[in-house]
């Protein structure tokens, strides 16, 4: 057993008869030979397939997915400092458990067997040995009505482990009815039994080939969402709803269920009983994220549906024609004469000159400019003066904007924005006009759907970010329309801060815009007022500062990994240690002063201790 230390040899502890011993385990040596050597050294009678090594999992490593038995396939998990245990082999332990399950004379032995089975059934090596011969025994045990709460709970955990490992793909109708009766019972039932029943139904849904939409209804699960005393039950109830919706989506029958999930009543229940709690586990957060993803997928219908080409937006059309007429009369009235009067050049006056009288003489370097008949402009037209300087304005066709293909979602968002945020809508309409208002609205909608909310994409397996705003939305304040309105206001603000005036600048603006929205939603506000407040604090300068810090951190990490930097750091270690030593010695030689205290624990004036080498 003992061998020279090398790369393939690890130092481990092996528990034998409740006593831990240190061993050097050679990873190149077959496991059966290692077990034989352990038995010989400790006086155990060795027989092939009688003993095996098991991993010892501590409480902080208590994961049902971790293996119990050491095999040739998973022995790579053995590292220096690992703890193993000499135990019955899987086949030997299965025989012991089956004997106790078949007799059922002693309740203590039955309880011990079911307890061990609920733990070891999560191990693939044990499950492969037990299932085909021991599963019928387990079925006969669980059908007994005399089982105590603890025994029945252990049986459910064993069933759940076999489902996860793929040994059970369907449950018979009587057993499913029994599980549903547990969930619908008005009697007080042990929480662990309810948890395992919910997990069993959730797990079996994914393995069943066909499932009825009425397999289990949401109304049967709502009472468990109310159970604020058990967050685990709440999480498993939401997970079961999600699993049922995902399974029905594969069968293209999820429509009615998603509508129920998106109902105001159910979302309010989740908001009040789950989201409002102070602490939520990652499991709960993930289930809320999946739930959110599913109900947001309902928006795809509006996103993919185009509105009629005859749809009109009177505000946009009136704004366009009003501006066109104003520009025409304005350009006819304003004339700057350079040199002789026949050479007229139309251009806007400077801001300082607009505040003077109607006739202003501007002195240039080569000639005098005479401006006549200058009318003061309204604030609406003031914001549009820059258009006269743009070469692309003359080529701008309003028909391209007014006749753009709009989806139903964008159309609804524009109408909602105009009705509920009238002043902001008018300002945005003016500011965005030369950059095509409708096109900008389409870009924002597309951006929110695909980049921010990722609507239409399947739920991620490890994502935990959910938005309380989705659950708090009402009929009068729908989530997406409110988010669109906030986004349009934010986009106009960000573009102004970045001084972006052309479509070419939009790409940079949207990069900042995405960062602002992601950070604002990641703060998980419970109202859109909170979201607006958060977005107001995320100015362009703040985002730029964050990016600068991230670049600096990335550069530090990059430099730290460079071989030349590592060599330089190693070469300076001895010199640095010597410098530290010298400084500390000098400090001790110089000495340190301490105040002096008398017997009454009061400081003595003008008296100190000086300690030095």
Q: Given the structure tokens 């988010």, which residue do they identify?
A: 483
Q: What is the mean pLDDT of residues 450-461?
A: 92
Q: Is the pLDDT of residue 340 over 50?
A: no
Q: What is the mean pLDDT of residues 180-187?
A: 88
State both tokens at 552: 């600096």
Q: Report the alpha-carbon angle 447-387-433, nearest 5.
A: 35
What pLDDT score was predicted for residue 206?
Answer: 83
Cα 366 to chain centroid, rounded: 65
What pLDDT score was predicted for residue 40?
Answer: 87
What pLDDT score was predicted for residue 341?
Answer: 42
Listed residue (443, 313, 333, 341) closest to 388, CA to CA: 333
Pick the residue with more confidence: 325 or 234? 234
**What is the DSSP annotation of 543-610?**
HHHHHHHHHHHHHHHHHHT-HHHHHHHHHTHHHHHHHHHHHHHHHHHH-EEEEEE-TTS-EEEEEEEE
Q: What is the mean pLDDT of residues 133-147?
A: 85
What pLDDT score was predicted for residue 408?
Answer: 92
Pick the residue with more confidence: 470 or 436? 470
Q: Is the pLDDT of residue 384 over 60?
A: no
Residue 606 falls in which region: left (phi positive, over 0), alpha (psi -120 to 50) or beta = left
Q: What is the mean pLDDT of residues 303-316?
A: 71
For residues 49 and 89, the answer to whether their CB atoms sit within 8 Å is: yes
Q: Is the pLDDT of residue 345 over 50?
A: no
What pLDDT score was predicted for residue 388?
Answer: 38
Q: Is the pLDDT of residue 385 over 80?
A: no
Q: What is the mean pLDDT of residues 243-248?
A: 89
For residues 289 and 465, the answer to whether their CB atoms sit within 8 Å is: yes
Q: Is the pLDDT of residue 344 over 50?
A: no
Listed residue (529, 468, 465, 479) closest to 277, CA to CA: 468
For residues 128 and 93, the answer to whether their CB atoms sit within 8 Å is: no
Pick the residue with more confidence: 609 or 307? 307
What pLDDT score was predicted for residue 46?
Answer: 84
What pLDDT score was predicted for residue 89?
Answer: 92
Q: Which residues pair with 368 in a beta bridge?
A: 363
User: What are the domain boundaries of the chain?
Assistant: 169-279, 297-333+393-538, 572-611
Q: What is the mean pLDDT of residues 256-261?
A: 89
- Of 23-37, 295-309, 334-348, 579-593, least confident by mean pLDDT is 334-348
Q: Is the pLDDT of residue 418 over 60?
A: yes
**What is the torsional sign of CA 99, 103, 104, 107?**
negative
For residues 522 and 536, the answer to whether their CB atoms sit within 8 Å is: no
For residue 577, count other CB atoms closer than 10 A to its CB: 10
For residues 52 and 87, the answer to whether their CB atoms sit within 8 Å is: yes
What pLDDT score was predicted for residue 309?
Answer: 62
Q: Categorize the per-residue pLDDT at 359 as very low, low, confident or very high, splitting at 50, 70 and 90.
A: very low
Q: What is the mean pLDDT of residues 371-389?
A: 37
H helices of 262-350, in order, are: 264-270, 282-296, 300-304, 314-333
The mean of the pLDDT values for the chain is 80
Q: Is the pLDDT of residue 311 over 70?
A: no
Q: Is the pLDDT of residue 368 over 70?
A: no
Residues in the chain: 613
Q: Is the pLDDT of residue 120 over 70?
A: yes
What pLDDT score was predicted for residue 566?
Answer: 83
For residues 305 and 287, the answer to whether their CB atoms sit within 8 Å is: no
Q: What is the mean pLDDT of residues 601-612?
A: 79
Q: Categorize the per-residue pLDDT at 348 as very low, low, confident or very high, splitting at 50, 70 and 90.
A: very low
CA distance 37 to 45: 11
Q: Dump pLDDT digits (tens) for 32-85.
A: 999 988 888 888 888 888 899 999 876 544 455 667 899 999 888 888 888 999
What pLDDT score was predicted for residue 541?
Answer: 92
Q: Dump pLDDT digits (tens) for 507-560.
A: 889 999 999 999 999 999 999 999 999 999 999 999 999 999 989 988 888 888
Q: Dump pLDDT digits (tens) for 456-490.
A: 899 999 899 999 999 999 989 999 999 999 999 99
Q: Is the pLDDT of residue 372 over 80?
A: no
């Amino acid at each position: 057993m003992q061998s020279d230390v090398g790369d393939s040899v690890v130092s481990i502890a092996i528990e034998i008869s409740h006593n831990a011993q240190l061993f050097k385990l050679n990873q190149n040596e077959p496991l059966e030979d290692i077990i034989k050597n352990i038995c010989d050294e400790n006086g155990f009678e060795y027989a092939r397939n009688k003993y095996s090594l098991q991993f010892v999992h501590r409480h902080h490593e208590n994961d049902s997915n971790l293996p119990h038995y050491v095999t040739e396939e998973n022995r790579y998990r053995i590292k220096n400092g690992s703890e193993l245990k000499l135990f019955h082999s899987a086949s030997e332990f299965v025989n012991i458990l089956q004997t106790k399950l078949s007799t059922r004379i002693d309740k203590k032995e039955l309880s011990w067997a079911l307890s061990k089975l609920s733990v070891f059934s999560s191990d693939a090596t044990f499950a492969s040995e037990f299932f085909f011969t021991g599963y019928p025994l387990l079925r006969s045990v669980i059908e007994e009505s005399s089982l105590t709460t603890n025994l029945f709970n252990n049986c459910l955990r064993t069933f759940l482990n076999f489902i996860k490992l793929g040994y059970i793909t369907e449950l018979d109708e009587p057993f499913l009815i029994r599980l549903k009766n547990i969930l619908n019972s008005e009697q007080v039932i042990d929480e662990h039994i309810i948890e395992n029943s919910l997990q069993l139904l959730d797990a079996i849904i994914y393995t069943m080939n066909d499932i009825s939409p009425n397999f289990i209804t949401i109304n049967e699960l709502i009472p468990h969402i109310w159970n604020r005393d058990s967050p685990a039950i709440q999480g498993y109830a939401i997970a079961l709803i999600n699993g049922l919706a995902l399974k029905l989506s594969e069968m293209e029958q999820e429509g009615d269920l998603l509508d129920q999930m998106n109902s105001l009543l159910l979302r309010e229940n989740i908001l009040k009983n789950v989201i409002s709690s102070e602490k939520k586990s990652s499991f709960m957060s993930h289930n809320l994220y999946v739930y959110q993803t599913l109900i947001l997928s309902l928006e795809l219908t509006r996103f993919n549906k185009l509105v009629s080409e005859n749809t009109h937006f009177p505000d946009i059309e009136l704004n366009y024609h009003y501006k066109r007429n104003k520009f025409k009369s304005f350009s006819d009235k304003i004339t700057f004469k350079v040199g002789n009067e026949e050479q007229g050049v139309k251009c806007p006056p400077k801001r300082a000159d607009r505040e003077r009288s109607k006739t202003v003489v501007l002195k240039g370097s080569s000639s005098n400019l005479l401006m006549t008949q200058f009318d003061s402009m309204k604030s609406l037209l003031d914001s549009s003066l820059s258009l006269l300087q743009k070469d692309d304005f003359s080529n701008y066709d309003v028909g391209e904007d007014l006749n753009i293909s709009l989806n139903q979602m964008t159309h609804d968002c524009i109408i909602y924005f105009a009705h509920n945020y009238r002043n902001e809508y008018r300002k945005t309409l003016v500011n965005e006009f030369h950059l095509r208002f409708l096109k900008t609205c389409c870009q924002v909608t597309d951006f929110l759907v695909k980049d921010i909310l990722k609507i239409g994409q399947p739920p991620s397996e490890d994502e935990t970010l959910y938005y309380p705003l989705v659950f708090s939305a009402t009929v009068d304040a729908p989530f997406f329309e409110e988010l669109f309105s906030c986004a349009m206001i934010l986009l106009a603000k960000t573009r102004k801060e970045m001084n972006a005036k052309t479509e070419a600048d939009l790409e940079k603006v949207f990069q900042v815009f995405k960062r602002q929205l992601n950070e604002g939603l990641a703060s998980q506000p419970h109202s859109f007022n909170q979201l607006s407040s958060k977005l107001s604090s995320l100015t362009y300068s703040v985002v730029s500062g964050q990016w600068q810090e991230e670049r600096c951190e990335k550069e530090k990490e990059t430099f730290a990994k460079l071989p030349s930097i590592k060599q330089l750091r190693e070469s300076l270690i001895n010199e640095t240690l010597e410098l530290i030593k010298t400084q500390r010695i000098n400090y001790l030689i110089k000495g340190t002063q301490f105040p002096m205290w008398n017997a009454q624990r009061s400081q003595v004036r003008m008296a100190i201790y000086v300690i030095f080498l």
